[in-house]
């Protein structure tokens, strides 16, 4: 039987902010930006959660519930740096590590008892190692598959360790609320509750055909998860699939010229990231959200590129064709996908494209050293 660990960094963004500024300790901290703006909460401390705050809620609503909180824009580069540090520690000990997101990893420790002894005790060692070397708190779940391990890491937060004994998964899960199962969101929860299903045990007492008929493949998967079943296999290499940037306006926007200006900056930031990772993208997409919250996305596939001008012009063309309603815009975004690593070849005579690549490389270096806005380019 497999032994899978799921490690979740507790209130990760907030934890990093507290390392950068220790005066934030024990205060209700909210990462997400201007509390009077129109963004959402990216993360909040456990002190802030006691006021009813949670990730994903409108930041204005968070401010009404917790006006005395500390509201921060956040330091994304620091989050990435700390995430890499944690993964480097885990890779010293785990035969296989899958990074599921910036703040969570799965590890396969199957058969490692002969090396580390009690894996419950070893999980405590890992927690201490990460705390000492990075200052970050974490929770760990241990189970026979990824689903159980993930549920376990959520059980004893913060700084908890939960070991689900093999063969006891069904009994462990039975009294838990159905929203404990990964993938059960607010809409699914309401629908399950309307059917009298509140606990995971309520699912296991019904046949799988019932859930297949009601929810299709997701229903079947839900039934299996409720029985403690899940995949044991980790994905070691997960190549980046997309890069995107978006902005929510403080006030709804009607000016197409202003939309064009913001789209240009977003496209530039996306291409900056492409070049940082030595990628080119073949699909350009835009996201547009109106003031009534109707949201649309459109995409177009082109020849692979990392050129600001090409990405912007493609995105602007898509946006002009998609933006047909005479209503103000709340949010716009630009994204790229179908990413491929780009290997630059030496050429004897430089053409215009080669010169632009040298220019962009120099711009990337300057922006990386100082800030993105150190250099502005024309449309």
Q: Is the CB of residue 211 less than 8 Å from the CB of residue 223? A: yes
218: pLDDT strictly greater than 50: yes
Name the residue with higher pLDDT: 53 or 339.
53
State what percent of residues in the chain have pLDDT above 90: 63
Q: Is the CB of residue 308 less than 8 Å from the CB of residue 361? A: no
Between CA 325 and CA 317 the distance in angstroms is 16
Mean pLDDT of 254-282: 90
pLDDT of residue 345: 42
Q: List pLDDT tens digits, range 159-200.
A: 999 999 998 999 999 999 999 998 888 888 999 999 999 999
Domain 1-166 fold: Alpha-Beta Plaits (3.30.70)
63: pLDDT strictly greater than 90: yes
pLDDT of residue 124: 96
Q: Mean pLDDT for the chain?
A: 87
pLDDT of residue 183: 85
> Domains of the chain: which residue ranges?
1-166, 170-226, 242-372
Q: List pLDDT tens digits, range 301-339.
A: 999 999 999 999 999 999 999 999 989 999 999 999 888
Q: List pLDDT tens digits, range 70-101.
A: 999 889 889 999 999 999 999 999 988 998 88
207: pLDDT strictly greater than 70: yes
Domain 170-226 fold: DNA polymerase; domain 1 (1.10.150)
Q: At what angle do helices 208-215 and 217-226 cross, to 10 degrees?
A: 140
Supply the residues annotated as catalytic.
Answer: 104
pLDDT of residue 232: 87
Task: Assign 378 a pLDDT band (cuts: 50, 70, 90).
Answer: low
Q: By three-state DSSP, how is residue 72 classified?
A: strand
pLDDT of residue 348: 44
371: pLDDT strictly greater than 60: no
140: pLDDT strictly greater than 70: yes
Question: What's the Cα-to-Cα distance from 30 to each of 15, 42, 50, 80, rounded to whole Å?
Answer: 11, 8, 12, 18
Task: Assign 358 a pLDDT band (cuts: 50, 70, 90).
Answer: low
Secondary-structure percent of the chain, ordered helix, strand, coil, rounded to 5: 45, 25, 35
Alpha helices in the chain (DSSP H): 12-20, 46-49, 59-65, 76-93, 113-116, 119-134, 146-155, 169-173, 186-194, 200-204, 208-215, 217-226, 256-276, 308-322, 352-369
Q: Is the CB of residue 29 less than 8 Å from the CB of residue 18? A: yes
Q: List pLDDT tens digits, range 22-49.
A: 999 999 999 988 888 878 899 999 999 9
The contacts of residue 60 (CB under 8 Å, 6+ apart) are 35, 36, 37, 38
DSSP 113-162: HHHHS-HHHHHHHHHHHHHHHH---EEEEEESSHHHHHHHHHHT-SS-EE
Task: Assign 370 a pLDDT band (cuts: 50, 70, 90).
Answer: very low
CATH architecture assignment, domain 242-372:
2-Layer Sandwich (3.30)
Mean pLDDT of 277-303: 90
Question: What's the Cα-to-Cα distance from 151 to each of 64, 162, 169, rounded to whole Å?
Answer: 31, 9, 11
pLDDT of residue 16: 96
Alpha helices in 27-118 (DSSP H): 46-49, 59-65, 76-93, 113-116
State what percent of residues in the chain have pLDDT above 70: 88
pLDDT of residue 56: 84
Between CA 325 and CA 350 the distance in angstroms is 45
How long, in residues, is the chain? 379
Name the residue with higher pLDDT: 109 or 358.
109
203: pLDDT strictly greater than 50: yes
């Amino acid at each position: 039987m497999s032994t899978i660990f799921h490690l979740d960094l507790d209130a990760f963004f907030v934890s990093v902010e507290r390392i950068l500024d220790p005066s934030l300790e024990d205060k209700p901290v909210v990462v997400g930006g201007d509390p009077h703006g129109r963004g959402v909460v990216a993360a909040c401390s456990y002190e802030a959660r006691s006021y009813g705050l949670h990730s994903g809620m409108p930041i204005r609503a968070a401010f009404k519930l917790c006006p005395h909180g500390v509201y921060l824009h956040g330091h994304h580069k620091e989050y990435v740096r700390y995430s890499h540090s944690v993964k480097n520690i885990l890779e010293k000990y785990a035969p296989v590590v899958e990074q599921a997101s910036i703040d969570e990893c799965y590890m396969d420790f199957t058969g490692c008892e002969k090396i580390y002894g009690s894996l419950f005790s070893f999980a405590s060692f890992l927690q201490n190692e990460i705390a000492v070397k990075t200052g970050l708190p974490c929770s760990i779940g241990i189970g026979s598959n990824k689903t159980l391990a993930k549920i376990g890491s959520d059980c004893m937060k913060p700084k908890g360790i939960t070991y689900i004994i093999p063969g006891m998964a069904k009994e462990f899960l039975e009294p838990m609320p159905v929203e404990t199962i990964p993938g059960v969101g607010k809409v699914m929860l309401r629908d399950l509750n309307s059917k009298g299903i509140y606990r995971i045990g309520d699912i296991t007492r019904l046949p799988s055909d019932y859930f297949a008929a009601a929810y299709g493949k997701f229903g079947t998967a839900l039934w299996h998860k409720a029985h403690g079943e899940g995949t044991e296999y980790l994905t070691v290499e997960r190549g980046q699939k997309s890069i995107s940037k978006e902005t929510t306006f403080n006030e709804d926007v009607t000016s197409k010229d202003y939309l064009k200006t913001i789209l240009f900056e977003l496209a530039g930031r996306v291409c900056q990231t492409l070049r940082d990772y030595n990628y080119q993208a073949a699909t350009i997409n835009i996201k547009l959200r109106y003031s009534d919250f109707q949201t649309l996305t459109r995409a177009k596939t082109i020849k692979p590129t990392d050129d600001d001008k090409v990405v912007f012009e493609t995105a602007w063309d898509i946006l002009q064709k998609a933006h047909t309603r005479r209503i103000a815009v709340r949010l716009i975004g630009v994204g790229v996908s179908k990413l491929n690593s780009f290997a630059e070849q030496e050429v004897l005579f430089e053409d215009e494209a080669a010169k632009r690549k040298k220019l962009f490389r120099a711009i990337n270096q300057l922006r990386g050293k100082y800030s993105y806005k150190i250099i502005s380019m024309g449309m």
